Amino acid sequence: MDTCKYVNRAGNKFEITDVQYFISEIILTDFENNEYELAGNSNIHYFDQKIHGTHSQIFYNIPSSNYKNIKFTFGLRGNKNVTGFFKNPPENNMSWPSILGGGYHYMKINGRWRDGNGVLQPFNLHLGKVKSDETEKYMDNTFDVILPLNNFIITEGKTSSLNLDFRIDNWFQNPNIFDFNNFGGAIMANKEAQMLLKENGKDVFFVLQ
């Protein structure tokens, strides 16, 4: 954090100051294709790198089984993504401007990058709703993530742990190269940048077992 020592695929040197995001609609699937939707906190997990209490979440009463994958939505959909859904911080600090459709940010990655003159410039990789023009509806930039599990067994009366890895580098690559020289630092109303990040985000998460 706060050290400009990273280089993305476009060759931009950058540093990270904040990482915040939502995942929701979290579901475990067993080998008989039964799905179990986790219900903690209305099935939403908020992560903030600076708030240790958001780095994990406990779910109770999961049926005993061997689960083959976990899937979830990156961001918030439907009635969960409506202004006022969250009453208290830190979640309500993720509000998305009403002029851009309201609701909440799906993600905030803030930091700085060095421009062609070597000057540190701020950037805000903020993902959420975006309007492509004055006549179209707001685009939903949420996306689904499905991750395979290796012998993840839930047993009644015991606790099992599952760790997710969030790889920031992958937001800048695969399948699209994200170059700060093209997009600058603020992308909340930039349709092209939002769509690019949505496509790149599908291989950001990995399971560590």
Residue 90 lies in a domain: yes
Query: Tens of pLDDT along 18-72?
Result: 999 999 999 999 999 999 999 866 799 999 999 999 999 999 889 999 999 999 9
pLDDT band for 135, please (50, 70, 90 cuts).
Answer: low
Full residue range of the structural domain in which residue 165 is found: 6-208
**Average pLDDT taken over every residue of the chain:** 93
Residue 131 is predicted with a pLDDT of: 77
Does residue 199 form part of some domain? yes
Is pLDDT at 132 greater than 80 in this prediction?
no
Q: How far is it, in rounded angstroms, from Cα 160 to Cα 149?
A: 13
| Token output for 80 | 């969960």
How far apart, in whole angstroms, are the C-alpha atoms of residue 191 and residue 142? 14
CB burial class (10 A; 0-12, 13-18, 19+) of residue 85? Answer: middle
CB-based contact 40:57 (threshold 8 Å): yes
- In this predicted structure, the answer to whether residue 96 has a pLDDT above a threshold of 60 is yes
For residue 8, give the nearest of 156, 144, 169 by alpha carbon: 169
In a domain, 150, yes or no: yes
- Structurally, how many domains does the chain consist of? 1
In a domain, 64, yes or no: yes
Which distant-in-sequence residues (6+ apart) come within 8 Å of 128 by Cβ?
75, 96, 100, 101, 103, 104, 105, 106, 107, 141, 188, 194
Cα–Cα distance measured from residue 147 to residue 69, given in angstroms and rounded to the nearest whole number: 5
Domain assignment of residue 114, yes or no: yes
All residues at 6 or more sequence positions from 81 whose CB lies less than 8 Å from its CB, including other chains = 75, 103, 104, 129
> Does some domain include residue 1?
no
